[in-house]
Structure 1
């Protein structure tokens, strides 16, 4: 009788074996996406070469390989046409297309994969953003801004002017040039977390996002080498020298804080689990409140409103001591950024990156990087900004705070580290506002 009673379940398994296999594959894919960054982190910890390359660059590289080596199915030509530039086809529409023979069961599986990829990217960024903001001590960083504020303002003005000019030049050559411009503002004010947030807010296509960010990585690699090697001598011909002052007593703690931003070993060990749960709980609450409020605006603006609200609430929460003191929330946020980088790059079509469109994006990015650097140099010469502040401000905005000590070491000037770190943190805090505003403004022209 026991065997007979289990017979219907066995029949169900036989009749639905294909669906069950598909579900298991989807579950394994999700697990891979969530845990693969651990492998990247271990690689960076064990080998200095990978540490120099950077965990985010590695995440992009492995994601591109995973998505373009035939491991993931790509779907039939009919499926790609039916998507109509959407990431995935809604379930009811997919069922109709399969029923009338336009698409196959294999296309359904491809659609499920793409939907999972899209859902992961749409979840990890709204969670990562507040986590990155919670631990920031805005008051402390502002106290140490020094002369860097003037250089930062000149850099921001330069970036905005050059990006508008780049949009005018490339708008007929680069798809969604307004959105690309918004992402470039994010890249040159706060870095990967900002550009990822702006991608979500402006609903940027994954291929376009990856082409833009990859172009920045290529151009940026040459620029940072120039800044470290020839930059001080070349820019010193036009700008006054730095006047040394006595370093502030807080400098060591600020430097240590910046250098620990990508220390993922803090996410394991005694008490780490409790801190992770606390940080995730508050981040989820910020996400939920922002999502609830966004329902009051038209659907086309909801994601943008969510990102702006999360940024604002995250900064506000950082002023609450109990939240600000939650340990390692920043590192947890960066882990989510690694997940995003791996997933979004696996969604990209490497073939499209070899197209003329990619070359135009590369030219646009190069124009923005070099143009904003030159305009910043001219304005700095007019306002008598010293060469060290100019270089450290450029580094902090174009790259990220962890690069600041590297450039300061090349300049043999420890005093400017505080200025660079402060500018980098402020740029990260305001990058979403400026980038989204720029993207919306230029897209509306």
Structure 2
């Protein structure tokens, strides 16, 4: 039993390194993306029958008693209510639960350390306005979608709304964090992420092809005389494997240590509040402390902290995917797919109309949408499709701000919508 748990732990922790290596080795896998591969591996692991199942009785007990612990399960074993195999399945579930919490909580500050908050004020005025218009568009459309799809049978729609605001103002790390904050079940999380990927492909296909042409017909041209501000992009092209070099490893261990300290402080804050809001306080507290730590120059300049955080996101993605029941993914939820499509393309349309009203140029408006909906890694791709290097700085800065505020906005909107 212990050997299986240790083997599974090592698999989850080390497999992302194999994923990154294969992406580096084969370009078609790199185009697919490490996160997608992690989800595929996780879904396969959790659904091929290698791992034991908990059975209906134990599963019902866990649903009705979220704080169910191993001692109580062992008592069930002694009375013959559950089997040895089901106890092992419970222990595996608890291992996954711990890995989910640790990976995402440590990833949040690591991904924020390299953020240069001071340079946000140096963004061009139009870019700042475009950022606020983009945030408003996403929140407005997601809110409208909540009322449109409220009677469609989607379970805990207010949580889904929070996830959508988080992922479309920040990115996958915000989606992962909000899963914990809002206590979203794994099946719902995987469905949202799966449909997000499908809609995201259609969205990217548009903004990289017809998008620049259409936006430039409707909005003013980009002011080419504008001189961009120097910035250090947080999404480096440096391979993750460079962190294993001695010069990179020692400073990075310091960053990980600081991240552990921040997580400990966040957990401490969570102990001071009622249990029903504990996870929200922990995650938002860690986010805030991570942003504050980025102001410390010695921490901000540590290389590869963002990449290390993304490694932890791969662990998170694989573990969450292995907890999903693939039988729940076989039938398409047209309501959920429609809600996500509305959130993406509806916010794009609203942002376009507001940009025309506020006289935002075409390139700034489009790069803002890409930075928020797709996150900073896609900004260089969009800038290249627009043949505009100057827009790169604003796009990356907007995406970073989205990372920082996504958790707050998703949590707040979800709780507001829950009241209706």
Both proteins in one fold, TM over 0.5: yes
Post-superposition shift, 1:271?
Answer: 2.3
1:339 matched to 2:315: yes
* Of 55-64 and 156-165, the range deviating more from structure 2: 55-64
1:330 matched to 2:306: yes
Residue 405 (structure 2) aligns with: 430
Q: Which of 142, 148, 159 does residue 121 from structure 2 map onto? A: 142
Q: Which of 34, 49, 55 does residue 76 from structure 1 map onto? A: 55
CA distance in 2, matches of 1:127, 1:222: 32
1:316 matched to 2:296: no
Secondary structure of the residue that 2:87 maps to in structure 1?
A: helix
CA distance in 2, matches of 1:272, 1:151: 37
After superposition, residues 36-435 of structure 1 pair within 5 angstroms as: 36-84=15-63, 89-172=68-151, 173-248=153-228, 250=230, 254=232, 257-260=233-236, 263-355=239-331, 358-435=333-410
Secondary structure of the residue that 1:101 maps to in structure 2?
A: coil
Post-superposition shift, 1:263?
Answer: 3.2
User: Are residues 325 and 235 of structure 1, via their aligned partners in 2, closer, same or farther at CA, if it must alter by over 3 Å?
Assistant: closer
CA distance in 2, matches of 1:62, 1:156: 34
Give structure 2 stretches of 5+ with no counterpart.
none
Post-superposition shift, 1:146?
Answer: 4.3
CA distance in 2, matches of 1:35, 1:440: 37
Post-superposition shift, 1:283?
Answer: 0.5
CA distance in 2, matches of 1:222, 1:71: 35
* Of 259-268 and 297-306, the range deviating more from structure 2: 259-268
Residue 418 (structure 2) aligns with: 443
Post-superposition shift, 1:258?
Answer: 4.2
User: Are residues 85 and 33 of structure 1, via their aligned partners in 2, closer, same or farther at CA, if it must alter by over 3 Å?
Assistant: farther
Give structure 1 stretches of 5+ with no counterpart.
1-21
Number of aligned pairs? Answer: 419
Post-superposition shift, 1:249?
Answer: 6.4
**Residue by residue, what CA displacement relative to the aligned partner does 1:97-131 show, whole Å, maximum 9, x if unpaired?**
22332211111011011110011001111111011
Residue 11 (structure 1) aligns with: none
Secondary structure of the residue that 2:191 maps to in structure 1?
A: helix
* Of 94-103 and 58-67, the range deviating more from structure 2: 94-103
Runs of 4+ aligned residues of structure 1 deviating over 3 Å after TM superposition are 85-89, 246-249
* Of 116-125 and 139-148, the range deviating more from structure 2: 139-148
CA distance in 2, matches of 1:123, 1:155: 32
Q: For the Cα contact (< 8 Å) 2:219–2:359, is it kept in 1? A: yes
**Residue by residue, what CA displacement relative to the aligned partner does 1:325-363 show, whole Å, maximum 9, x if unpaired?**
22221111111111101111111111111245x432222
Post-superposition shift, 1:443?
Answer: 2.2
User: Are residues 249 and 123 of structure 1, via their aligned partners in 2, closer, same or farther at CA, if it must alter by over 3 Å?
Assistant: closer
Secondary structure of the residue that 2:165 maps to in structure 1?
A: helix
CA distance in 2, matches of 1:280, 1:311: 15
**Residue by residue, what CA displacement relative to the aligned partner does 1:340-389 show, whole Å, maximum 9, x if unpaired?**
01111111111111245x43222211121121111111111211211111
Q: For the Cα contact (< 8 Å) 2:53–2:85, is it kept in 1? A: no
CA distance in 2, matches of 1:219, 1:146: 31
Q: For the Cα contact (< 8 Å) 1:88–1:114, is it kept in 2? A: no
**Residue by residue, what CA displacement relative to the aligned partner does 1:290-345 show, whole Å, maximum 9, x if unpaired?**
11121110011111000111111110111011221222211111111111011111
Q: For the Cα contact (< 8 Å) 1:147–1:419, is it kept in 2? A: no
User: Are residues 221 and 301 of structure 1, via their aligned partners in 2, closer, same or farther at CA, if it must alter by over 3 Å?
Assistant: same
Residue 28 (structure 1) aligns with: 7
